[in-house]
A and B are shown apart, each in its own frame.
Chain A
Amino acid sequence: MAGPLISPPRVLVAVALLLFVNSQLPVRYGGKLGGMLRPVADLVALPIREPVFRLARRLNRPDNNPNSQGTIDPASASREQLVLAHQQLLTQLGTQRQRINDLKRQLANTQGFAVEDLPPRNRVPAKVSAYTDAGTRHILSIHGGTHQGIAAGQTVLYGTRIVGRVVEPVGPVSADVELITSQDIGFQIELTPPADPNNPSAGNTLPGLERLRIKPLPAERLFTAEVSHDVAPPIGALARLADEIHYRDARAHILGRVEEVRPYPPDPQLLKQIVIRPTLDLRFLNEVVILVPKRVPPKE
């Protein structure tokens, strides 16, 4: 005698078939259901995932925030320690003001990429709640979404450094950021002399190294570029974004530092290959900033 038409094994087979069909559809159709469910799953997982990520980061990764280093606990510090800390903070404040002035001057002089052609941006901070290595793509999950004005394609920064861009799906309170090291697009940079990466006004572009096209190596989380022998940059030179198309609103932000200059294997006589490594481990940041375009009030 035949079994019932709808039985658990048959339902399972039907679901498996549907999933197979879904997995072979173009992304614009097959990704719809997943795109709807992903923000829900993120919302549900966030209460546990975010504190765990922060705790795990504190246990195993050095804090990338330069401001948090060398701090003292005010409750247990002596008067002398507090006075010393106060003096140090005043010095830092003076340095920062100087840097702001330098930056303003540099912007006024323009480096070839003034920001007047872009709409104003808000800097929206968001906590990082997870990191995922999805094969060729490196993804940070952040606690911030459409409620904060975040949308796919927006640029993500950490201080003066470029982190990546927001990708779909963006939920109400969660979003994914694809790290710049994992993207297979090449973009242009310029190289400036070795300096403190926290200092945004660190010198002019090295001659012959303007608009240099680089390629990411996602597996090693590095970038490479080829330059001629006579303009090879010094080790430690800072790479800054200078692309007219990709990350246009993050021009002059730091991508990384020149780690190695070696002969270019296919043509060692003529060219050198430079290897650029990000100045931070972008996978384990605690917080990032998203450049969200300011809303323009509707005209009456």
Chain B
Amino acid sequence: MNLLVFTATAYLAYALQGGLAPLWTYRNTTPNLLLILLVFVGLNAPRHLALVAALVLGLLMDLRPSPLADGAVLLGPHALGFLAAGYATLQLRNFLVRKSIITLVIMTLVAGAFAALVQVLLLSLRGLPMLANEPMAWSATAQLMLRGQNLIYTTVAAIPIGLLLSFTRKIWGFTTRGRGEKIF
């Protein structure tokens, strides 16, 4: 995978995520560009690079405004959520047609669900007295519902964005399969 292309695309996705809000926010939901990029890279890049990319994209998500009180920026919940999403994508990708847009769309839904579960779990764990003892001011169920709405919107947005990414596949320099990578 061409790291320069990944860096430039991640930067663009991070900048556009907040910048495009007036155009695509519907009620309280917005699509997640970084998640779509994660799934695209996860489906096509070598294993170790895909996991590193997932971690980097998750860290970028962590650097966006968080639900924590007083605007605290906590590195971890999104990064680990994206890592779990990247791992799930890697586990499933050998059973899928990697270059298909339908695969990208379905995997966005699946990987996004993993990411949302891990994020909400990690943020909810902070409320335990033996850990941070800083409970969130929300209900985990309501947050999962909200993230589910966002995920459905992201899945829809994955169709045009996936097509756009597919057109650029050549410059990403994806190899078909890493050396020693198992098929099953």
**With contact pairs A38-B73, A169-B71 given, residues A56 and B22 touching in the complex (Cβ less than 8 Å):** yes
A23:B137 contact, CB within 8 angstroms? no
B126 touches which one: A8, A23, A52, A130 (CB < 8 A)? A23
A9 touches which one: B11, B30, B48, B60 (CB < 8 A)? B48
The smallest beta-carbon distance between B15 and chain A, in angstroms, is: 4
The smallest beta-carbon distance between A206 and chain B, in angstroms, is: 32
A168:B70 contact, CB within 8 angstroms? yes
Most buried by A among B11, B14, B15: B15
A-B CB contacts (within 8 Å), total count: 168
Q: Does A41 contact B (CB under 8 A)?
A: yes
Q: Does B131 contact A (CB under 8 A)?
A: yes
Name the interface residues of A1-59: CB closer than 8 Å to any CB of B: 8-9, 12, 15-16, 19-20, 22-27, 30-31, 33-35, 37-38, 41, 44-45, 47-53, 56-57, 59
- Distance between Cα atoms of A176 and B71 in the complex (Å): 8
B52:A12 contact, CB within 8 angstroms? yes
The smallest beta-carbon distance between A11 and chain B, in angstroms, is: 9
> Residues of B within 8 Å of A, CB-based: how many?
53
A53:B18 contact, CB within 8 angstroms? yes
- Distance between Cα atoms of A52 and B18 in the complex (Å): 9
B25 touches which one: A20, A33, A59, A133 (CB < 8 A)? A133
A131 touches which one: B18, B69, B143 (CB < 8 A)? B18
B71:A22 contact, CB within 8 angstroms? no
B18:A141 contact, CB within 8 angstroms? yes
- Distance between Cα atoms of A33 and B76 in the complex (Å): 11
Name the prevailing secondary structure of the B interface residues.
helix
**With contact pairs A19-B79, A131-B21, A135-B67 given, residues A26 and B132 touching in the complex (Cβ less than 8 Å):** yes
- Distance between Cα atoms of A33 and B63 in the complex (Å): 10
B11 touches which one: A44, A169, A178 (CB < 8 A)? A44
The smallest beta-carbon distance between A222 and chain B, in angstroms, is: 13
- Distance between Cα atoms of A149 and B66 in the complex (Å): 24
Most buried by B among A34, A61, A176: A34
Q: Which residues of B contact A219 (CB under 8 A)?
A: 28
- Distance between Cα atoms of A192 and B14 in the complex (Å): 43
B16 touches which one: A16, A49, A152 (CB < 8 A)? A49
Q: Does A108 contact B (CB under 8 A)?
A: no
Q: Which residues of B contact A135 (CB under 8 A)?
A: 67, 138, 143, 146
Most buried by B among A9, A33, A136: A136
Render A196-230 as a binary contact track against B, CB cut-off 8 A, 1 for contact: 00000000000000000000000100000000000
Name the interface residues of B1-45: CB closer than 8 Å to any CB of A: 11-12, 14-25, 28-30
Render B120-146 as a binary contact track against A, CB cut-off 8 A, 1 for contact: 001101100001111001100001001
The smallest beta-carbon distance between A191 and chain B, in angstroms, is: 27
- Distance between Cα atoms of A31 and B28 in the complex (Å): 26
A167:B71 contact, CB within 8 angstroms? yes
Give the 8 A-B residue pairs with the shortest CB-CB distance, closest first.
A130-B18, A23-B76, A34-B73, A52-B19, A167-B71, A135-B67, A56-B23, A139-B65
30 CB < 8 A contacts A-B: A8-B48, A22-B74, A22-B75, A23-B75, A23-B126, A26-B133, A27-B68, A27-B70, A30-B132, A37-B73, A38-B63, A41-B60, A45-B14, A47-B15, A52-B15, A52-B19, A52-B20, A56-B20, A56-B24, A57-B22, A57-B23, A133-B29, A134-B64, A136-B67, A136-B137, A137-B67, A167-B70, A176-B71, A284-B21, A284-B22
Interface positions of A (Cβ within 8 A of B): 8-9, 12, 15-16, 19-20, 22-27, 30-31, 33-35, 37-38, 41, 44-45, 47-53, 56-57, 59-61, 129-137, 139, 141, 152, 167-169, 176, 178, 184, 219, 283-284
Besides A31-B74, A48-B11, A56-B24, 8 more A-B contacts (Cβ < 8 Å) are A27-B72, A34-B62, A130-B19, A133-B28, A136-B67, A141-B18, A152-B70, A284-B22
